[in-house]
Structures are given as structure tokens and as C-alpha cells.
Structure 1
Amino acid sequence: MSPLPSLSATPRIAFLASSITVAQQALEQMRLRYGHHSPQDADVICPLGGDGFMLQTLHRYGMLGKPVFGMKLGTVGFLMNQYREDDLPQRLALAEPAHLRPLEMLALTESGTTTGSLAYNEVSLLRQTRQAAHIRIDLNGQTRVDELMCDGVLVSTPAGSTAYNYSAYGPILPLGSHVLALTPIAPYRPRRWRGAIVKAETEFRMQVLDPYKRPVSVTADSHETRDVIEVTIRESRDRQVTLLFDPEHNLEERIISEQFTV
């Protein structure tokens, strides 16, 4: 069932588009056909572009609590629906919701500053130089990995588990599973450790063991902080976004299908 407040009349739609030409052309056509409202005044937000632009939209307008129906006009569109100009109000009326909670990241840098950010896909720690990173991993205050020598390590949400996490040989997580994936990136020691699946309530604390010789950056979706010495990650308790999908291509089915792709 769609969360739109009233579907008897044409919903108020806020159209947004990435900077690529085809998306800007579609933006003009959709606004001419269906009108345009600001995100603050709209019933639903409709970004036109790829997954990167969808994440930008969620970061910018997620706090409004408006459902988001994206349409693919970019390179990657796992979080998007097929672009069609016709019958948008009917598609919105039939759309199925997927409720996502972002990760909250808090990073402490060598200079003593702290940086916070949200991540709807993943938070990843990555080495900044040719030398491997050395990272200690605590879960809920208990050390689980004394020293991980690696290119990096990431924490992924179910919605993001088919992205960078999957490329790093991490598990695909079903929506609604209430778990997160902890996945090492090119681990050297311990050589046999391949990560873990943990409860969504888990708090992660990553400590960089040799930050001056082996500097590490952290990226929450596309927001990067360099020269970190400690990073805390947990699922947000008070932030949630709702994505809308055509019933024949809902997000849960896409995640299941990814596990059977050869």
C-alpha cells in the first residue's frame, strides 16, 4: 500500500534531476506535464537520474519524511524505477514502499575534529596510501578483531549490500532482516576472516592503530573524511526514509534476484 496521503486527486510532486542532459530534458517534460512543487510542499519527491543522485536526494531531503519515487536516467539504477513519462499518478497509487534506516557515522580525526554523516548504503574505511591499514574492530564495546590488516573495511545496510559490499565479497542482506554486514576489503591478516553479519542494533567502533604511518579515510556514501583515528557507526534510531517502487520491480525482489544472478 502506498503511503501517499490522498490518491483520489493528482498528488503534488517535486521533480528533481541530475546534471546529465537526458535527466534535465526529462525534468522539463515532467514538470510541464504534471506540475512542480517544492520538496517541502510536495506529497512525493521524484528524482530523475541514477543511484548516486538518489542518494544525494535522500541526504538532502530525507529529513522531510516524504516518500521518494525515483526514475532511472543514469548509469546505475538499483534504487530507481524505470523512466516512463505516462501514467505517473497511477504508478504512485500502486507503488509499494520500502522503509530504510541509514547508518550514523561519527569520525574523530588526527587534528582532534569530529565529523558526522549519514549513510544509506555503507560506511567504508579505506587506506590512503600504498600501505595496508591496521584497524581494531569493537562491537558493542567488545574487541572482536585485534588487528585487521587490509585495504579497508565497511559496514553495509541491506539496501546497500548489493553495491560496494557485494563487490568486496560481502553477503547480500534481505530487506527487513534487521542485520548489517561487516565486510573486510582485501584482508591480509587475519587471512581467513571474511566478515560478519550482526544485529542492526550493534554499535561499531573502528580504531586506526597506526594513523600517522598508515593513514585511513572514512566515507559515508559519498561524504569523505580523511586522516581518521576512530570511527563509530550505528543504525539510526530516529531517521527513516520511504522509497516507492513499481510492484513488478520492488526493491525486495531485486535484492532476492541479485542472489541468483550468475
Structure 2
Amino acid sequence: MQPASVPVDRDLAARGIGLLASHGESAQAAARLLQRRYSWADERDARLLVALGGDGFMLHTLHQMLDGGEVRPVFGMNRGTVGFLMNEWRLDRLAERIAAAKPIKVAPLTMTVHTIHGDEWTHAAINEVSLLRETRQAAKIEVLVNGRVAMPELVCDGVLVATPAGSTAYNFSARGPILPLNANMLALTPIAPFRPRRWSGAILPDDTRVCFRVLDPQDRMVSAVADQFEVRDVSQVEISLDRSRSMTLLFDPEHALDERIAMEQFAT
């Protein structure tokens, strides 16, 4: 029970709001300020979390919740580098900001990987699943869509599948399309394609199952990466969206993720 002297607008513990911070110096300094200003629920019991850091820390927080099986809304504040998934850092009126926040649902991809050694790995990806060549030789990859061969041989440095939330990240750097959050689509984007040289990728319905089969996986080795989780020496990768594990990010209405993703199409 919180002391009666704690002002209502500073008693975040009573609202079930907990605090997380990355190990970065800026995030830790911000956390100390917030801990002096507000009371907080224990992060293990909190029904909502405030996360301090950058996009990498937000992805880490979301993955921890997915792995733990307890998904809770997250209000991020940028104390990192880019902060595309975060709100602006401000110390004051935090309870009011959270109460007025716009909820944005993001669903992760599920990556199932088979390796040349007979291992199988399954991992979630909030931004993208990417395949990348491990050697100086280009990768050769067969692309299947819903069980049908869509491209018999893609010769490239790699290929990726991105969610709308991740379409402005690695996908956009690889010249893939920006997808509005409500588009219900996935981006399939090649990375430095050599053959077919002019193929720029595809936009697929988000209920599509994508499979990549690595051709000549012993000599032209390929790794698979789901956000920050990497598996090397892969032979086949299956990717699909899992709406049953959707997560909620909270944003200031004037800084909401869906509008910022749409406006990225006009960035120069």
C-alpha cells in the first residue's frame, strides 16, 4: 500500500504501472529521476510497463514478454539513439500521458528454421526475418509462397520478410516498401539481388506463409535472423504472422507510430 502522502498523479504503483530501463547511462539517469518523482509497481506484478531506452531495448522488452508468455502494454520513452518505437522523453505529467495514449497493436512473425546439421529453431520477430549469406559467395534461395514455388532461384546477398512495424527498418534500407500499420500486408524484399537483377520484391497478404529453401546450403551457407536472434547454416526457413501473440505499444496521440510510419514515405 502506498503512503497517503503520495499525490494521486504521482502514484503509478496504484495504477499497476512498472518501470524498466536499459543499461545505457542516459536511460539509467532518466530512471533515477522518474523513481524520485513517482511511485512504481514492481515490474513483475505490473499490468503496464514504462520502458526507457532505444528501439533495441523496446524489441528486447517485447521479446522477453513473448518468451515469458505474459504480454503487457508498453509505453516507451526514448533514451537511446533512434527511438522510432518510443515516445518523447518527458518527466512531467506521465500519468496523464499514459491515460491519453493511443494503443497500437503489433503482431510478431514466427520463424521456424531447419539447419544443415538437423537442428530446428523457432523464434519470434517483431520487425523482420532476414536471410544473409555467410560466405563470399552469393546465396541461392528458392522462394515458396503458401507452399507453391514463386521463384525457383534467387541469387542474392539475402532476402527478408518484414512486418508493417518493421518496414521502416532494415527492410527500407534494402529498398523495400513502407507498409502502413493497418495494411495487413508483409514485405518480401531481396537484399542486393544479382539474379533476377531487377526483381524488387513483393507485397503479400499477412496471412501468407513464406518459405525459403537454401540451394547448395553446404557450400553457399546462409544464416537466418529474427530481429536480434541468429541461426547459422540454415537449409530452410518458414515464416508466418502470429496474430494470437499481438502486443500493444502506447503512444502520445500526436506522436503515434501509425502516423509516423505513413509520413516516412515522404522523408528525404
Q: Distance in 2 between matches of 1:55 and 1:163?
A: 12
Listed as ranges, the matches of 1:92-107 within 5 Å are 92-107=98-113
Q: Distance in 1 between matches of 2:249 and 2:65?
A: 12
Corresponding letter in the other structure for 2:247? V
Give the TM-score, by structure 1 length.
0.95
* 1:15 match: 19
Q: Distance in 2 between matches of 1:221 and 1:48?
A: 19
Where 2:218 maps in the other structure, the secondary structure is coil
Where 1:165 maps in the other structure, the secondary structure is helix
Work out whether residues 10 and 89 of structure 1, in 8 Å CA contact, stay in contact via their aligned partners in 2.
no
Q: Distance in 2 between matches of 1:104 and 1:16?
A: 26
Where 1:26 maps in the other structure, the secondary structure is helix
* 2:172 match: 166
The question of 1:151 aligning with 2:157 is answered yes
Q: Distance in 1 between matches of 2:267 and 2:107?
A: 26
After superposition, the C-alpha distances for 1:77-128 in whole angstroms (9 at most, x for unaligned) are 0000001111100000110010010000000011101011000000000001
Work out whether residues 40 and 64 of structure 1, in 8 Å CA contact, stay in contact via their aligned partners in 2.
no
Work out whether residues 13 and 45 of structure 1, in 8 Å CA contact, stay in contact via their aligned partners in 2.
yes
Work out whether residues 149 and 190 of structure 1, in 8 Å CA contact, stay in contact via their aligned partners in 2.
yes
- Using the TM superposition, give the Cα deviation of residue 64 of structure 1 relative to its aligned residue in structure 2, in angstroms: 1.9
Work out whether residues 39 and 61 of structure 1, in 8 Å CA contact, stay in contact via their aligned partners in 2.
no
Corresponding letter in the other structure for 2:17? I
Q: Distance in 2 between matches of 1:60 and 1:228?
A: 24
- Residue 140 of structure 2, aligned match among 125, 134, 139: 134
Q: Distance in 2 between matches of 1:73 and 1:123?
A: 26
- Residue 194 of structure 1, aligned match among 193, 200, 211: 200
- Using the TM superposition, give the Cα deviation of residue 65 of structure 1 relative to its aligned residue in structure 2, in angstroms: 2.7
* 2:230 match: 224
Work out whether residues 13 and 40 of structure 2, in 8 Å CA contact, stay in contact via their aligned partners in 1.
no
- Using the TM superposition, give the Cα deviation of residue 140 of structure 1 relative to its aligned residue in structure 2, in angstroms: 0.4
- Using the TM superposition, give the Cα deviation of residue 9 of structure 1 relative to its aligned residue in structure 2, in angstroms: 9.2
- Using the TM superposition, give the Cα deviation of residue 40 of structure 1 relative to its aligned residue in structure 2, in angstroms: 3.6
Listed as ranges, the matches of 1:100-115 within 5 Å are 100-115=106-121
Change (3 A) 1:182 1:32: same
* 1:243 match: 249
* 2:43 match: 39
- Using the TM superposition, give the Cα deviation of residue 24 of structure 1 relative to its aligned residue in structure 2, in angstroms: 0.9
Work out whether residues 12 and 40 of structure 2, in 8 Å CA contact, stay in contact via their aligned partners in 1.
no
Question: Which stretches in structure 2 are left out of the alignment for 5+ residues?
Answer: 1-10
- Using the TM superposition, give the Cα deviation of residue 8 of structure 1 relative to its aligned residue in structure 2, in angstroms: 11
- Using the TM superposition, give the Cα deviation of residue 33 of structure 1 relative to its aligned residue in structure 2, in angstroms: 2.0
* Equivalent residue pairs, number: 256
Q: Distance in 2 between matches of 1:145 and 1:79?
A: 34
- Using the TM superposition, give the Cα deviation of residue 253 of structure 1 relative to its aligned residue in structure 2, in angstroms: 0.9
* Worse overlay, 50-59 or 23-32: 23-32
Q: Distance in 2 between matches of 1:236 and 1:9?
A: 32
- Using the TM superposition, give the Cα deviation of residue 42 of structure 1 relative to its aligned residue in structure 2, in angstroms: 1.2
* 1:4 match: none
- Using the TM superposition, give the Cα deviation of residue 18 of structure 1 relative to its aligned residue in structure 2, in angstroms: 1.1
Corresponding letter in the other structure for 2:38? Y
- Using the TM superposition, give the Cα deviation of residue 12 of structure 1 relative to its aligned residue in structure 2, in angstroms: 2.2
* 1:204 match: 210
Where 2:266 maps in the other structure, the secondary structure is coil
Where 1:148 maps in the other structure, the secondary structure is strand
Q: Distance in 1 between matches of 2:174 and 2:116?
A: 27
Q: Which has the larger radius of gyration?
A: 2
Work out whether residues 12 and 41 of structure 2, in 8 Å CA contact, stay in contact via their aligned partners in 1.
no
Give the TM-score, by structure 2 length.
0.92
Listed as ranges, the matches of 1:36-115 within 5 Å are 36-62=40-66, 63-115=69-121
Corresponding letter in the other structure for 2:24? I
* 2:181 match: 175
Change (3 A) 1:179 1:74: same
Work out whether residues 13 and 39 of structure 2, in 8 Å CA contact, stay in contact via their aligned partners in 1.
no
